[in-house]
Amino acid sequence: MNCVELTARYDARASFYGKAQVMTIGKKSTLLSYGTDVAEIRYTKHGPVVTYADFTFSQTTNRHIREFIRQYAPKEYSKFEPGKVKNISSKIWKKDKFESI
């Protein structure tokens, strides 16, 4: 298990000041924003699976998710728009896990 602070490479902010962490275990990376799991990228034999919790995020958490996807997912996933599912598997949040809807 590896947990690192998410840096602001593509965002206009200089830093996220420790509010966003990325935990990596094997081929799965999970984004924690303000200590809550909000997005996940898993690499499977069929390609990457990008999921995120399906509820309204704060503007800052949306920034964290966009940055996480730009840094950790393939290029075709980089157009994340909150509230719009585009190239990202739609998921809902239940019992600390992502489950398909």
* pLDDT tens readout for residues 65-88: 889 988 988 776 666 655 443 334
Average pLDDT, the chain: 77
pLDDT, tens digit (0-9, with 9 covering 90-100), for 10-30: 888 889 999 999 999 999 999
Angle at CA 63, nearest 5°, toward 61 and 64? 60
The per-residue pLDDT for 81 is 56
pLDDT over 50 (residue 96): no
d(CA 6, CA 67): 8
Q: Where are the domains of the chain?
A: 2-100
